[in-house]
Amino acid sequence: MARHLITSAIPYINGIKHLGNLVGSQLPADLYARYLRGRGHEVLFLCATDEHGTPAELAAAKAGKPVAEYCEEMHGVQAKIAEGFRLSFDHFGRSSSPQNHRLTQHFAGVLAEKGLIREVSETQMYSPTDGRYLPDRYIEGTCPNCGFDSARGDQCDNCTKQLDPVDLINPHSTISGATDLEMRETKHLYLRQSAMKDELEAWIDGKTDWPVLTTSIAKKWLNDGDGLQDRGITRDLDWGIPVRKGEEDWPGMEGKVFYVWFDAPIEYIACAQEWVEAGKGDVWERWWRTDKGAEDVTYTPFMGKD
């Protein structure tokens, strides 16, 4: 009997999921989990809702509800859809769970100890009309690369170029439509991806079972242009996981939360903790930590999305 850990790409909390979401990751993962169970293998099949970030705040505001209430309601809707399609998740968790809060803050503390996080003072868009800083998805404008007039502050959906809000031409607030935006100084944490290049490249070189196309794409990300860039992992938002170093406060980061793309991938691990603490399973570490018995686990994610 082998042990298999399977995760399905966690769906975003905003909106009702449709057949394409099911076919894209949930149904293939469910089929594989059922097949392996049928063969007598031990399987842990996990999924969750991805609940942080600006789209959740915007959707909650549109629905006229507090964001926590909106997310709880939509989690119930998505869980019911999964049940309706008889998906065999062992647990369907939430990225807003206490377990993900603790684990995300723990990882941030460890990364800081290893010198992989740096503090950056930067200028950021502020809207006097809205009375707040505007994170990337609260700003839209014209893409400087392709001219698309509805590019977001983090990426242009037309040409896929990654952007910063200050790159946009004629930017405006997606909350109020205000154009009287100004730059104000704020401080954020950046993940030092540039410092990980050599280690990541060596790790990729060791993946002899990867398809050539996969390896070449990964190498392209590492080496094209300026290579891996340090990226901000905090935001000036109310909804999210508060910035802390494990259980310690992080001076200068009061009132900030971790960026959704930092905490959401960690939820795949935290979901196993939720599964255990919900009384459904045994020790979660035996599925994720090689020093706790996970060395014989085969992990299959469906699918990596972006």
- 26 and 72 in a single domain? The answer is yes
89 found inside a domain: yes
Q: Count CB neighbours of 22 within 10 A.
A: 18
What confidence score (pLDDT) does residue 135 get?
79
The domain boundary, picked from 139, 157, 185, lies at 185
- 95 and 139 in a single domain? The answer is no
Q: Count CB neighbours of 256 within 10 A.
A: 21
Angle between helices 54-63 and 67-84 in degrees, nearest 10: 100
26 found inside a domain: yes
Tokens of 215: 């390896």
CATH number at residue 128: 2.170.220.10
What confidence score (pLDDT) does residue 228 get?
87
- 11 and 81 in a single domain? The answer is yes
- 70 and 163 in a single domain? The answer is no
Number of domains in the chain: 2
What confidence score (pLDDT) does residue 304 get?
54
164 found inside a domain: yes
- 89 and 35 in a single domain? The answer is yes
The domain boundary, picked from 185, 211, 228, lies at 185
- 67 and 7 in a single domain? The answer is yes
Strand partners, 297: 3
Angle between helices 260-277 and 98-113 in degrees, nearest 10: 130
- 84 and 24 in a single domain? The answer is yes
- 57 and 129 in a single domain? The answer is no
In the 8-state DSSP scheme, what is residue 11? P
- 44 and 135 in a single domain? The answer is no
Strand partners, 147: none
Tokens of 142: 């014209």
Which residue blocks in 27-147 are alpha helix, DSSP H?
27-38, 54-63, 67-84, 98-113
244 found inside a domain: no
Burial of 261 (0-12, 13-18, 19+ CB in 10 A): middle
Question: What is the residue-level pLDDT of the chain in tens, covering all 306 positions?
Answer: 899 999 999 999 987 877 877 888 899 999 999 999 999 999 999 999 999 988 898 899 889 999 999 999 999 999 999 999 999 999 999 999 999 999 999 999 999 999 999 999 988 889 999 888 887 878 999 999 999 999 998 899 999 898 888 889 999 998 889 999 998 999 999 999 999 999 999 999 998 888 999 899 999 989 887 788 899 999 988 899 999 999 999 999 999 999 999 999 999 999 999 999 999 998 999 999 999 999 999 999 997 544
98 found inside a domain: yes
What confidence score (pLDDT) does residue 306 get?
40
Mention every residue, 6+ apart, whose C-beta is less than 8 A from residue 253: 187, 189, 234, 243, 244
- CA neighbours closer than 13 Å in the CB half-sphere of residue 22: 14
- 20 and 63 in a single domain? The answer is yes
- 82 and 157 in a single domain? The answer is no
Phi, psi dihedral angles at 114 (to 5 degrees): -85, 5
224 found inside a domain: no
Mention every residue, 6+ apart, whose C-beta is less than 8 A from residue 86: none
The domain boundary, picked from 165, 185, 205, lies at 185
204 found inside a domain: no
CATH number at residue 20: 3.40.50.620
228 found inside a domain: no
What confidence score (pLDDT) does residue 103 get?
98
Tokens of 172: 């405006």
Mention every residue, 6+ apart, whose C-beta is less than 8 A from residue 142: 148, 149, 151, 168, 169, 170
| 229 and 212 Cβ atoms separated by less than 8 Å | no
Query: Domain of 159?
Result: 124-185
- 100 and 135 in a single domain? The answer is no
Helix (H, G, I), strand (E, B) or coil at 95: coil
